[in-house]
Amino acid sequence: MNLVIFGPPGAGKGTQSIKLVKEFNLFQLSTGDLLREEVKKKSSFGNKIQDIMNSGALVPDEIINTLLEKKVSTPEYSNKIIFDGYPRNINQAKSLDDLLKKYNQKMSLALNLKVNNDILVKRIVGRLTCSVCNKTFNTFFDPPMTCEKPLCSSRELKKRLDDNEETISKRLKTYDEKTFPVIDYYVQKGIMKNVDGMQEIQSISEQLITIIRALRG
């Protein structure tokens, strides 16, 4: 099956996607990760993406669609994808339907992680990442501790350039304006399931796993 996981920035989409990948042998497609890979290349295309991300605006659909099709068209990914952070507007949702149909696939399930905005701001502004193993900490909810790998003793705790309160506020406003209609789009298709994203990570995972297992039968 293919599924999409929704939730505003900081809702835990990436964390939960990783758990579902392991549980159900799926592939995670995070538009954020795909975009950051392009930014790292430091090409004119990557620099353009970086400017858009830093402004808090959404990256244009044509850029996202190009990056996604490279993955969707890969045979081993067929009907085994978790779309994390996409689609974010109605046009993207319709484009994704067309893209999946082009490669004889379909969307089976949409999951929506619901979290209050004040918690989301703290989750993102307080986020820090180990430069060695990429383990994520949070100054508010999960203060930096010793990483599991010995090599991490030489780590630096990094913060994304776009993890600041001004940018986050813009992103949340954009999410409210653009993405809520997409949730309705999947509600109308009868494949949307809401999940309480305010709970502990493991509790959220258990909710998601139960939903997916019920769908798989």
14 in the same domain as 41? yes
34 in the same domain as 104? yes
Distance CA 43, CA 58 (A): 19
pLDDT score of 186: 97
Whether 133 maps to a domain, the answer reads yes
Q: 142: buried, middle or exposed (CB in 10 Å: 19+, 13-18, 0-12)? A: middle
Whether 97 maps to a domain, the answer reads yes
pLDDT score of 10: 81
Whether 121 maps to a domain, the answer reads no
- Scored b (16 or more CB within 10 A) or e, 26-42 reads bbbbbbbebbeebbeee
pLDDT score of 70: 85
94 in the same domain as 34? yes
54 in the same domain as 14? yes
Q: Domain span at residue 92?
A: 2-115+165-216
140 in the same domain as 57? no
Number of domains in the chain: 2
DSSP strands (E only) in the chain:
2-6, 27-30, 81-84, 107-114, 127-130, 136-138, 157-158, 192-196
pLDDT score of 3: 96
155 in the same domain as 102? no
80 in the same domain as 156? no
DSSP state of 205: H
pLDDT score of 217: 67
Which H helix or E strand runs over 122? helix 117-125
60 in the same domain as 91? yes
pLDDT score of 93: 93
Per-residue pLDDT tens listing for the chain (217 residues): 999 999 888 888 888 998 999 999 999 998 888 888 889 988 888 898 899 888 888 788 888 888 899 899 999 999 999 998 789 889 889 999 999 999 999 999 999 999 888 888 888 888 888 888 888 888 888 787 777 777 888 788 888 877 888 888 888 888 888 888 999 999 999 999 999 998 888 999 999 999 999 988 6
31 in the same domain as 107? yes
171 in the same domain as 158? no
pLDDT score of 187: 96
pLDDT score of 72: 94
75 in the same domain as 64? yes
Closest Cα partner for 193 from 208, 205, 204, 171? Answer: 208
pLDDT score of 81: 96
Distance CA 26, CA 78 (A): 10
**What's the alpha-carbon Rg for the chain, to the nearest Å?**
17
First to last CA, the chain: 12
137 in the same domain as 49? no
* CATH assignment of the domain containing 193: 3.40.50.300
Distance CA 37, CA 51 (A): 14
Closest Cα partner for 170 from 58, 67, 74? Answer: 58
Distance CA 171, CA 7 (A): 12
Whether 122 maps to a domain, the answer reads no
